[in-house]
Structure 1
Amino acid sequence: MRPTLLCAALSLALTGLLPVHAGSPDPDPADPADPADPSDSTATEFDRITVTATRTERALADVPNTVDIISRERMDELLVRDLKDLFRHEPGISVGSSIGRFGIGDIRIRGLGGNRVRIQTDGIAVPDAFAIGSFSNASRNFVDLDTLKRVEVVRGPTSSLYGSDALGGVVSFLTKDPSDYLKDGKDAYFDFKLGFESDWNGLFGGATAALGGERWSGLVAVGHRQGTETENQGEVGSSGAARTRPNPQQRDGRSLLSKLVYTPDQGQRFKLVVEGNEDGADTDLLTLRGLQPMTGANNLSVTADDHQTRARVAVVHEMDMVDAGFADSLDWQVYRQDSETTQDTSEVREVPASLFSPALRDRRDRRFNFDQRVYGLQANFRKAFEGAVRHDLAYGIDLSRTRIRQKRDGLRTFLDTGATTPVMLPDAFPVRDFPISETSNAALYLQDEVGFAGGAFRLIPALRIDHYQLQPEVDAIFAEDNPGVAVAEISQTSVSPKLGAVWRFAPGWSLFAGYARGFRAPPYNDVNIGFTNVQFGYTAIANPDLRPETSDGLEAGLRYGSRVLFAELTGYYNRYDDFIESMAVVGFDPVRQLLVFQSRNVAEATIYGAEARAGLDLGALSGALQGWSLRGAAAWSRGDNETEDVPLDGVEPPTASLGIAFQREAWGAELAARFVGRRDRLPSASDPQPGAEPVRAFESPGYGVLDLYAHWRFAPGVRLDAGLFNLGDRKYFYAGDVPLVAADSVQLDRYTAAGRNLALSVAVEW
């Protein structure tokens, strides 16, 4: 049974339990996610509340990190449908995608992405990413953003609170609660949304229902989306490698979020959470048709059917007034999360006749499967006490156990005879590229916020201890595909300290600074991978001696906030030791005549940079400008592999955004500009042959793009949002979407972003 079927069944059970009587549940105290929260205005930007930066509710002005908060209201204004939309105007944060088939991939923060950034939903990490070869790519794009009430991003190493995955930062998705809608005596709430996006002919719809009584309340939110391939500005529509238009694609997806909340008294809540997400895509890979130089075969057709699911069940308990010696408040949750990615590829090929063999036609069907199941327990405690100074303690435990399985299967059918075989060189299917793996993590963290001078100066030390174990399981599939390969177990303990400080030295002004230690445990697939391609002359071997990645990060900044202006300037420097470079060329096997790939530790890498953001309420300066405001941000960073003196190609070029907005009670509009510099710090596009010059890689040019947004509440409970993107219809490239290709490649336009496009959304609530 698919995980989403489990979610649907449990959701129906929950909705049957919801009462329809008068009364409303007690709202979460100091809930910062209320769509009408006045802290969303630019005038009080640093009064906004974050719970991710310190695992306690703190105003942005009181945390020693750079934190971004994107509210539900802001997501609606920007017509956010996917991760690219979400971070479109957030310099320093980028979203990569694989052009053509696999779509959105990872989130990068200050140059680090993939599994080095912790992405979590209600505190539970989303599944890992994994990719191997041209037909296998499991991404981390598992969350329907319409189910969220808020997104928080903590930039930089955050391992002292979140462990291994937080080497680059944390992206925290917080889902809707019944209390977000059942306010002011309401015992029922309903809304319905419909929308359209022209760049992928996308249609989407969603509905939310929240019901509540004095003790019980609940919420169910469902969503559906469907569309075609995302447009670009390529013009070549033929089949084959020269094609630059997108491959034809049909996409659809659906999501479910349901919560049942029991409130026995004002100070505590029990929650049962069931969440599921499912996406699918069918693609006609026209770019892979025609003669394939590597094999000499002529591809007559290549089609793909990709599917991914994620399901989460959690039981949560929150207590606000514990009034005990060990805690003033606490929360804990137990959970299970299942995810699965299945990708099918069908390839019909023809090998022309030669002097030594007749023509050969065959169909090659491949299947890639990657699934994870995780069980976990989290508990967080908070305790404040006064002495000579004030202490706000936060401490807790994180326990999780994850089972990861990956398999590739295939069948080759000879079309002239009907004969079949599982052998498709270099593979004899089924195969596993790493053994079934079970990872366990046990962690304890402690943080103290020490307040001096009435809270004007805050010192924030933190420490987390993680114990990580990897236990591989060699089954018959892995053993047959990797004869004689010994797998390695790992048992490691890491200590991640942090020290931050915030000084409010004058009204509206504050300085912050901090040191943070980060780490990332060696990934299971890098430790025990096994893959050999004799036909193309290479092999990938395991590295049981991989050491954990570690980082030492420094960050400092200056903030100012008032009713008129907010501004923040931040500088950071991160040094990474034993940086893991996956599948690097490490030598040549003269016996088997194979090039050898292996994951390895790079002795030292650095990423450093500066970020700035500001906002101005023009109406506070002059009555004639009432309703007008300005908002801007910029980021610059540089990354280097210090060991080999080459740039880190994941670091984005300089980026900036600028917006001018006008707001009235019933309507508003915003003109937003995005600016990106040239991506000119790249390695060569390919390793040069002996005596030959390296092939120069394509450097995506800089650009500036204008977007226009508008919203209008034209009737009670009815809202229209509209967006017109790339007003000038400019041809440009998202730097992170362009692979290392030659500067003179005929395929470059394949990686362009969409031209001028439109998005519309209508929402009705009652």
Structure 2
Amino acid sequence: MRLHPLSVSLALGLCPFAALAAPDGAVDATAPALAEFDRVVVTATRTERAIVDVPNTVDVIDRARMDATLVRDIADLFRYEPGVTVGRNVGRFGLSDIRIRGLGGNRVRIQTDGIAVSDAFSIGSFSNANRNFVDPDTLKRVEVVRGPTSSLYGSDALGGVVSFVTKDPSDYLDDGRDAYFGFKLGATTADEGLFANATAAFGGARWSGLVAVGHRQGKETETMGEVGGEGSARTQANPQSTNGRSVLAKAVFAPDARQRFRLTVEGNEDDVETDVLTSYGFQAMTRATNTQVLGDDHQSRVRVSFGHEIDGLSWALADAVDWQVYRQDSRTRQDSLEARNVPATQMTSALRDRRERSFFFDQRTYGVQANARKTFETGSVVHTLAYGLDVEVAETRQKRDGLRTILDTGAVTNVISPDVFPVRDFPISDTTKAALYVQDEIAFADGAVRLVPAIRVDHYRLKPKVDTIFREDNPSTQVADIRKTRVSPKLGAVWHFAEAWSLFGGYAAGFRAPPYNDVNIGFTNFAFGYTAIPNPDLRPETSDGLELGLRFAGRSAYAGLTGYYNRYDDFIESTRFVGIDPDSGLMIFQSQNVADARIWGVEFKGGLDLDVLAPALTGWSLRGAAAWSRGEDRTTGDPLASVDPLTAALGLAFDGDTWGAELAGRFAARRDRLPPASTAVGYRETPGHAVLDLYAHWTFAPGTTVNVGVLNLADRKYWPAGNVPLVAAASTTFDRYTAPGRSLAVSFAVDF
């Protein structure tokens, strides 16, 4: 792995941090100031551990940080986390996936309270089910584990884990408090958004509960494009109307100080109506002229879980046990309407045509999780053993439907070429995932050295159910059951070689089971001469990751530098051309294991309390982060488009007793490593940018806080990495993918 000059400069930068942290040479690593690496996390090891004792790169965003930066969605959530990117489908479907170190989609596990959210799936221009199923106002903390994490979380943790942790009654009921009520109102100008949420908690000796409700509404998120009107030349955002709701309810029963029973009900839904003006006008592919294109999209997720935690046990195999059972339902419905004028041909006269399409993607999941922990000693070595099981059963249904109406004659048909509706692009699929894992945290040398071996065995089964809809569209397609078993090992280590310094790193394996839509995809289009066929021989996608890092956690400073190298094998390329059927003459497409990729890079995160320089700077602090990475498709030697260029964030903040402010910068280098295009023109490079944001908060009365943020303070035109697809270099609509100009966000919160 070649080192970038950035990594060298960051490594050299660690030494000044150490000097500034303790000019007299005495560093107290347990002091409370700037305790970024002292934060307790759970996701990385499934046990409560301070980041300084975790052999992974972990990011934590807590409730206070979300409030201070006025987080409204997942894009806001990761705005200052270089190396973590949120994708956006500009035009209609909005926020899509979360990429970690260049890997996204269903290759990153996204979970809420340990339960994975539903999959993403898209096909064609009118169907795009995403994974944006969380309201940040229901969260108390977000943890991100970068790199392969299949040894603890199995399939879909190929690129990492994003773990959303929801609020609990105990977060509001402390110091003997038996009731709490708070509400928040806010607005944003970038999308003319309004939001409101309220949280109530109550508690007694044994029972406690919490209810949090939220509402949000707005319009399209602005771009800095200047071309309006209708048609493909438009660069302004398409008009939208958005509204959403969320609810989180918890009831907790603690029969004694050692155990807690918890019932959770969580729901989130969003509705978006879009006037897709960019699709109006003449369409070269269909030769028709669109006079109206409307989208009406709805998505929802509901989860019910019941769990039990008990600690202080004296069992031979466990000191603490927790388990939960759950059911989760997610649903995406997207309705599209096209009104078009079709020109006359030699065979047909001109006509007015209305096409109505509906797309459905539903998942229902049942699961059980159980975890146990046991601490014991063998001589001078302390073991913290964690083990458990995960079982998940899911049913996935996808369907596309449609009607075509000839307005001049009133004729109605379910044929919209090349489809005869309704259709399924894969059969109804039952998937079962069952896994056992075990991890041992081995501490010796008085805790200065910690080894963390782990292993997980996953069994995956796919069982398709062919119904009439799928069979009518695929009369000869033979679908397949598959069974796969995979062993994922991991070995991590942490060495506290000095009072405030530590080295960490190790090896981790990752995998992703073959998806149902790739194994059993099926459709045939005789008019265009092609067919897609299943592939029961698909192998799991796999990864091998190496990581090495250096941390400093001092009295007034912290810093961490990490280098990583990930190798990905057997990536699945969906619907790849594989040949011609000699009997029918149809072109054959099939999903296959073809890709071999490498992603490597360097990441830095650090902070400094400036009062170490002078007492007059008490309350002032500096924090920063940077990520540099490279990705390569080893089968072709081409760069990976999903890997971001050098990105960084830097913030200068003041926190006083009643008010505070922060000037935060976001920076990105030019995106110039792009795969070759199919034409000589090539793809458009994305310019680099430097954007400043300003935040302030004021607690002008007990429990009453105003937060204000001015984003893109200098009103710069820039293109966020998650917004920009591969665009032809000669494109005249590149401004369509720009972020908003200067915008304001404000919230008013009251706690009782």
Q: Secondary structure at the match of 1:166?
A: coil
Shift in Å, 1:581: 2.3
What's the counterpart of residue 311 of structure 2?
320
Q: Contact conserved, 1:42 with 1:616, CA < 8 A, in 2?
A: no
Q: How far has the Cα of 1:537 moved from its partner?
A: 5.3
- The CA deviation string for residues 295-316 of structure 1, in whole angstroms up to 9 with x for no partner, is 1111110101000010000001
The match for 1:234 is 225
Provide the C-alpha distance between the structure 2 equivalents of 1:442 and 1:409, rounded to a whole number of angstroms: 34
The aligned residue for residue 702 of structure 1 is 688
1:552 aligns with 2:544: yes
Query: Where does residue 509 of structure 2 map in the other structure?
Result: 517
SS in 2 for 1:74: helix
Residues 721-760 of structure 1: matches in 2 within 5 Å? 721-760=707-746
> What is the SS of the residue equivalent to 1:433?
coil
Counterpart position of 2:262: 271
SS state of the match for residue 190, structure 2? helix
| Structure 2 residue 329 is the aligned partner of structure 1 residue 343 | no
**Hey, what does 1:473 align to over in structure 2?**
465
How far apart, in 2, do the equivalents of 1:678 and 1:596 lie?
Answer: 39
Q: Summarize the alignment of residues 35-46 of structure 1 with structure 2, pairs less than 5 Å apart.
A: 43-46=34-37
**Partner residue, 1:154:** 145
* Mapping of residues 95-174 of structure 1, within 5 Å: 95-174=86-165
CA contact (8 A) 1:564 1:621 kept: no
1:469–1:490 contact (8 Å) kept in structure 2? yes
Contact 1:684 1:695 in 2 (8 A): no
- 1:532 offset after TM fit, Å? 3.5
Write the letter of the residue equivalent to 1:749: D
> Quick one: which of 676, 685, 709 aligns to 1:684?
676
* Larger deviation, residues 220-229 vs 42-51: 42-51
Query: Partner of 2:8 in structure 1?
Result: none
Residue number in structure 1 paired with 2:422: 430
Task: State the alpha-carbon separation in 2 of the partners of residues 592 and 649 from structure 1.
Answer: 37
1:39 is displaced (CA, Å) by 10
Deviation string 1:542-562 (CA, Å, 9 cap, x unpaired) is 222110011111001000011
Contact 1:218 1:259 (8 Å CA) reproduced: yes
RMSD, aligned α-carbons: 1.5
**Residue of 248, 253, 259 corresponding to 1:257:** 248
What amino acid maps onto 1:740 in structure 2? L
- Which deviates further from its counterpart, 641-650 or 666-675? 641-650
| Greater Cα offset, 461-470 or 729-738 | 729-738
Distance in 1, matches of 2:582 and 2:711, equals: 55
Give 1:18's aligned residue.
none
Partner of 1:369: 360
Residue 89 of structure 1 aligns with which residue? Answer: 80
The alignment of Structure 1 onto Structure 2 pairs a total of residues equal to 723
Shift of 1:597: 3.6
Could you tell me how far 1:57 is from its partner in structure 2? 0.3
Structure 1 residues 148 and 233: alpha-carbon distance in aligned structure 2, compared to 1, 3 A threshold: same
5+ long unaligned stretches in structure 1? 1-37, 689-693
Match of 2:432 in 1: 440
1:27 maps to which residue? none
The offset of 1:590, in angstroms, is 7.2
Task: Indicate the residue corresponding to 1:305 in structure 2.
Answer: 296
Question: Equivalent residue of 1:736, what SS?
Answer: helix
Helix, strand or coil: the match of 2:699?
A: strand
Cα deviation, 1:86-111, whole Å, max 9, x if unaligned, reads 00000010000100111100000001
SS of residue matched to 1:179:
helix
In the superposition, relative to structure 1, how do residues 110 and 748 fare at CA in structure 2: closer, same or farther (>3 Å)? same
Residue 566 (str. 1) matches residue 566 (str. 2): no
User: Contact between 2:31 and 2:555, CA under 8 Å: does it hold in 1?
Assistant: no
Q: Provide closer, same or farther for how the CA distance between residues 755 and 590 of structure 1 changes in structure 2, counting only shifts above 3 A.
A: farther
Asked if the contact 2:477/2:533 (under 8 Å) is kept, the reply is no
- Name the CA shift for 1:294/1:626 in 2 (closer, same or farther; >3 Å): same
Q: C-alpha distance in 1, partners of 2:629/2:598?
A: 10
Greater CA drift, 742-751 or 163-172: 742-751
Aligned to 1:353: 344
User: In the aligned structure 1, how far is the partner of 2:510 from the partner of 2:243?
Assistant: 38
In the alignment, which residue of structure 2 is the partner of 1:186? 177
| Shift of residue 354, structure 1, vs aligned partner | 3.9
Report the Cα distance in structure 2 between the residues aligned to 1:357 and 1:593, rounded to whole angstroms: 28
Which residue identity does 2:119 align to in structure 1?
A: D
Equivalent position of 1:67 in the other structure: 58
CA displacement at 1:442 relative to structure 2: 0.7
Indicate if the aligned counterparts of 1:194 and 1:763 stay in contact, CA closer than 8 A.
yes
1:161 alignment partner, SS class: helix
Task: Confirm or deny: 8 A CA contact 2:319 2:374 kept in the other structure.
Answer: yes
Determine which of 407, 416, 424 is the counterpart of 2:408.
416
Shift of 1:395: 0.3
CA offset at residue 42 of structure 1?
5.9
CA 474–661 in structure 1, closer or farther in 2 if over 3 Å, else same: same
CA shift, 1:620, in A, is 2.9
Task: Say whether the 8 Å CA contact 1:40–1:48 is kept in structure 2.
Answer: no
* Cα separation, 2, equivalents of 1:535 and 1:150: 52
Q: Secondary structure at the match of 1:115?
A: helix
Q: What is the letter of the counterpart of residue 151 of structure 2?
A: S
Q: Which whole-Å CA distance do the structure 2 matches of 1:39 and 1:188 have between them?
A: 33
Q: Is the 8 A contact 1:343 1:367 kept in 2?
A: yes
Match of 1:720 in 2: 706
Separation of aligned partners in 1, 2:377 and 2:747? 51
Matched, 1:612 2:609: no
3-state DSSP class of the match of 1:631?
A: strand
Q: What is the CA–CA distance in structure 1 between the aligned matches of 2:30 and 2:584, rounded to whole Å?
A: 65
Q: Which amino acid in structure 2 is aligned with residue 176 of structure 1?
A: K
TM-score normalised according to structure 1 size:
0.93
Shift of 1:522: 0.5
SS of aligned partner of 1:250: strand
Deviates more, 1:159-168 or 1:742-751: 742-751
Contact 1:39/1:48, CA 8 A, preserved across alignment: no
CA separation in 2, counterparts of 1:590 and 1:683? Answer: 34
Alpha-carbon deviation of 1:540? 3.2
Contact 2:238 2:276 in 1 (8 A): yes
> Partners of 1:583 and 1:41 in 2: how far apart?
54
- Alpha-carbon distance change, 725 to 536 in structure 1, aligned in 2, over 3 angstroms: farther
What's 2:397 paired with? 405
Shift of 1:593: 6.0
**2:239 is the counterpart of 1:248:** yes
**Could you tell me the TM-score, scaled by structure 2's length?**
0.94
Q: CA contact under 8 A between 1:105 and 1:140: conserved in structure 2?
A: yes
The AA in structure 2 aligned to 1:656 is A
- Structure 1 equivalent of residue 187 of structure 2: 196
* Residue 54 in structure 1 maps to residue 45 in structure 2: yes
- What is the CA-CA distance between 1:85 and the residue it aligns to? 0.4
State the alpha-carbon separation in 2 of the partners of residues 337 and 155 from structure 1.
26
The runs of 5 or more residues in structure 2 that have no matched partner are 1-28
Percentage identity across paired residues of the two chains: 67
